[in-house]
């Protein structure tokens, strides 16, 4: 289907392709610069098709039910719980803890696993599917020193064979969509760069449904800028594979730029969503061509902060809730016109009632 329009002397042709597998791509051609840009509108992860090319990343210590439900309310098409250690999920009693629970309205939701033993990872994946997770992601990316010391997460990028053995066993065991979270290498050593390509190429041939790649090395942790050139190269080398990119996604214009530069299928919204659930609406609009984003008013921000706070209070005892919520407050305050003062005041609250009152005061509720 193609539509043409003339706007301010610029001919714009919007072509909408509906592919057999339900993926839609909007292509826009401007006759002035001859540039042709294709922005994906959906994201296919095995038999799950999201109606936007992005989702909420797993973020340990953040993506609990409170953050996930707010993300969904603000139009994230899917969320992930934080990474879970395989052997913990193998204890049925542990798995019944509220922290693992999937809410009725949360589908589709992803569960992510950390571990190094193929059989244990496979059984853990089965257990997560059994309690309602709709898709599984295997974490070969985590750079935390205690994870690396135990040979898990990003440490496994030193050993392509082990990664392949793990995902093959999991693939054999569960039928749900199976993703792998990678970084671009363990470090800059050529042997590790090669290991990344070995893993990616095997995964594509072995029925992994998507590769989710954070454009930094493991030892780089969060330093420097994410390398999106490798994401572009990955898509070029494996055009049939769903590729989801991650790294420094803090606003919608960046998402549009990354799609244009790389041709990948989706992006992961990670730190950019902490204290900023509006980012999902912003990205949804931007990939449809609308970059005229209207930020939330102070009053709207306050309403969301209060809502988030009340959900936190339902999940945690007050002693834990206050320090936990401060991590979010620091980011919420970034939008406040009197940021420093608002943040200092909110951070000083020592009991739930005071914090509620202060949020109401600072946000004119
Ligand atoms: C506090 C924190 C917790 C994270 N937890 C996870 C996790 O549980 N699983 C995972 O795959 N990545 C995790 N990540 C990595 C993010 O999902 C993402 O790949 C990374 O932050 C890069 O994206 P960004 O620069 O847009 O934040 C975490 C990152 C941060 C900052």
pLDDT level of residue 38 (50, 70, 90 thresholds): confident
Sequence-ordered list of residues with C-beta below 8 angstroms from that of 17, at least 6 positions apart, any chain: 1, 24, 25, 27
pTM above 0.85, yes or no: yes
Q: Give me ligand 1 centre to Cα 34, in Å.
A: 37
Domain identity same for 276 and 160: yes
For residue 355, is pLDDT > 90? yes
For residue 7, is pLDDT > 50? no
Domain identity same for 333 and 197: no
Q: Which tokens is 5 given?
A: 């329009």
CATH number, domain at 85? 3.20.20.70
Residue 199 lies in a domain: yes
Domain identity same for 72 and 204: yes
pLDDT of residue 20: 42
Per-residue model confidence as pLDDT tens digits over 238-286: 999 999 999 999 999 999 999 999 999 999 999 999 999 999 999 999 9
pLDDT of residue 221: 97
Domain identity same for 64 and 132: yes
Tally of domains in the chain: 3
Q: Give me ligand 1 centre to Cα 20, in Å.
A: 33
Residue 120: φ, ψ to 5°: -65, -40
Per-residue model confidence as pLDDT tens digits over 52-105: 999 999 999 999 999 999 999 999 999 999 999 999 999 988 889 988 999 999
Residue 342 lies in a domain: yes
Domain identity same for 98 and 223: yes
Q: Give me ligand 1 centre to Cα 246, in Å.
A: 9
Ligand 1 site residues (CB inside 6 A) read 57-61, 82-83, 112, 139, 141, 181, 214, 246-249, 268, 270-272
Residue 312 lies in a domain: yes
Residue 202: φ, ψ to 5°: -65, -45
pLDDT of residue 144: 98
Residue 26 lies in a domain: yes
Q: Give me ligand 1 centre to Cα 247, in Å.
A: 9
Domain identity same for 82 and 127: yes
Q: Which one of 99, 212, 224, 271 would you pick to mutate in the ligand 1 pocket, going by the greatest count of ligand atoms within 8 A of its CB?
A: 271
Q: Give me ligand 1 centre to Cα 360, in Å.
A: 31
Q: Which one of 57, 143, 182 would you pick to mutate in the ligand 1 pocket, going by the greatest count of ligand atoms within 8 A of its CB?
A: 57
Q: How far apart are CA 179 and CA 173, in angstroms?
A: 14
pLDDT of residue 37: 58
Residue 292 lies in a domain: no
Residue range(s) defining the domain that contains residue 23: 2-34
Q: How far apart are CA 55 and CA 283, in angstroms?
A: 10
Q: Are strands 135-140 and 109-114 parallel, antiparallel or unpaired?
A: parallel
Minimum CA distance residue for ligand 1 atom 23: 247
């Amino acid at each position: 289907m193609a539509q043409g329009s003339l706007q301010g002397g610029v001919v714009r042709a919007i072509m909408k392709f509906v592919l057999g597998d339900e993926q839609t791509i909007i292509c826009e051609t401007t006759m002035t610069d001859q540039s042709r840009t294709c922005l994906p509108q959906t994201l296919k992860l095995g038999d799950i098709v999201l109606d936007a090319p992005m989702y909420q990343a797993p973020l340990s210590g953040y993506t609990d039910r409170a953050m996930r439900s707010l993300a969904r309310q603000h139009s994230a098409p899917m969320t992930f719980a934080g990474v879970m250690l395989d052997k913990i999920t193998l204890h049925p009693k542990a798995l019944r803890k509220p922290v693992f629970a999937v809410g009725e309205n949360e589908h589709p939701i992803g569960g992510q696993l950390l571990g190094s033993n193929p059989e244990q990872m496979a059984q853990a994946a089965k257990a997560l599917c059994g309690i309602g997770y709709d898709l599984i992601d295997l974490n070969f990316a985590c750079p935390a020193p205690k994870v690396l010391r135990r040979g898990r997460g990003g440490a496994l990028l030193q050993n392509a064979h082990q990664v392949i053995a793990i995902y093959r066993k999991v693939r054999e065991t569960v039928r749900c969509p199976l993703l792998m979270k990678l970084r671009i290498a363990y470090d800059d050593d050529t042997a590790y760069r090669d290991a990344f390509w070995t893993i990616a190429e095997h995964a594509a041939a072995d029925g992994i449904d998507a590769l989710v790649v954070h454009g930094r090395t493991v030892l780089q942790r969060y330093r420097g800028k994410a390398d999106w050139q490798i994401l572009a190269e990955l898509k070029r080398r494996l055009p049939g594979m769903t590729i989801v990119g991650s790294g420094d996604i803090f606003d919608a214009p960046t998402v549009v730029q990354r799609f244009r530069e790389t041709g990948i299928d989706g992006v992961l919204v990670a730190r950019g969503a902490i204290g900023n659930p509006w980012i999902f609406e912003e990205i949804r609009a931007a990939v449809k061509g609308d970059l005229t984003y209207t930020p939330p008013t102070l009053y709207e921000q306050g309403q969301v902060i209060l809502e988030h706070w009340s959900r936190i209070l339902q999940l945690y005892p007050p002693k834990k809730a206050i320090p936990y919520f401060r991590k979010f407050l620091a980011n919420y305050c970034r939008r406040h016109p009197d940021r420093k003062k608002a943040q200092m005041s909110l951070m000083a609250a020592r009991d739930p009632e005071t914090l509620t009152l202060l949020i109401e005061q600072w946000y004119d509720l």
